[in-house]
Amino acid sequence: MQERVIFHIDVNSAFLSWESVYRLQELHEEVDLREIPAAIGGDEKKRRGIILAKSIAAKRFGVRTGESILEARRKCPQLYLAPANYELYKKNSLAFMKILREYSPDVEQYSIDEAFMDMTGMQTLFGEPVHCAHTIKDRIHKELGFTVNVGISRNKYLAKMASDFEKPDKVHTLFPEEIKEKMWPLPVGELLFVGRSTVAKLESMGIRTIGELARTDLGILKTALKKQGESIWNFANGIDFSLVQTEPEMNKGYGNSTTISFDVTDGEAAKTVLLALAESVGARLRKDEVKIQVVSVAIKDNQLKRMSHQKVLPAATDITNEIYQAACELFDELWDGRPIRLLGIQTSHTKEEETRQLSLFDDGGYEKWEQMDQAVDEIRRKFGRDAVKRAAFLKEDSINKGFSIRHRGD
């Protein structure tokens, strides 16, 4: 059986690079924003304006992605700030993905500026993996004007870790046999999906490097961090079985997502958004008389980085509360505290309406939820969607005004 070959390709300082290339090639400006203290940010007059991307020169002054423009200005008074141009980013992203798809039929766009490629078996067409990665990297630079990093491994997680090594314009490998040398000496905070609060907990347990985490007894981690303990232990040991998904998750099954007009940093506020999404998904399932057995949650932070996680339910359902509870569990496992700009719930393994099998673990609560959902659906059908509102939405009215639900996967 052929060993898997997975690439992770990440545009270096995407927004800043794309803006710089546009100014150099289209406007014929002489200054390359990538070579001066520069950044892409929101409206400087608005208090919520943040740094979306920064140059290496700006980084030397301590400017960080995600901090406020005011903070960045204090560190670097001469910082050149360019406004965000999302149409330009979309155009460059499409051109970037088009090139990638010429090298593999299995390309998963992970965010606007990064993707996974399954390159298994492609050696006969494009040469061995490192040579092929350099070919792709150099072609993108030549044709589109910006640079990328390429990470290569046997699975998606290790490939993404590899692409985050030294930047810019580099190719790195992180095969399982290289983990001890290249990944284990790194601080535990360098492990993807390990946030600040988790780092603090691990350090309080005496775990400061990825290697120390990998060698920690799994039972101890599960006791301290529950399911997340097992997840990060797997990652530290290079274990990841996820597949490169050629089609976006949000195009399969019943799913909704919402882009929020401001940064959400409070977990309870985020769960209010998830409740609204679960209500919408559940109503559509009941309308079509189908049930689902897999729920996934997607989060996109204010740097447009996307994360997702899924779980299989004990029984197929169309009940809003069961979908919501599953979504909250996934959210708690996935969210690392970074400001949220998009939340999504996606479902799959759709089944035709069927009688639910009794289980020893069912407490009968689903029957009450089922009756409540039916009653709410009927009231809304007769008198409109706003005829019935959950108390949670009344409490979080300011949050609700900041997002609108988009249906996906009909």
Q: Tokens 């899924």 belong to which residue?
A: 310
Question: What are the start-end ranges of the E strands in 78-216?
Answer: 80-83, 107-111, 114-118, 148-153, 171-173
**CA 221 → CA 140, 217, 235, 336, distances in Å?**
42, 7, 13, 17
Mention every residue, 6+ apart, whose C-beta is less than 8 A from residue 77: none
Sort strands 80-83 and 38-41 into parallel, antiparallel or unpaired: parallel
Considering only CA atoms, which of 299, 254, 259, 301 is closest in space to residue 278? Answer: 254
> Could you tell me if 338 and 66 are in contact, meaning their C-beta atoms sit under 8 angstroms apart?
yes
Considering only CA atoms, which of 173, 171, 232 is closest in space to residue 198? Answer: 232
Active site includes 352? no
Mention every residue, 6+ apart, whose C-beta is less than 8 A from residue 148: 9, 10, 11, 12, 96, 136, 137, 140, 141, 169
The active-site residue out of 114, 249, 322, 396 is: 114
Residues tagged active-site:
114
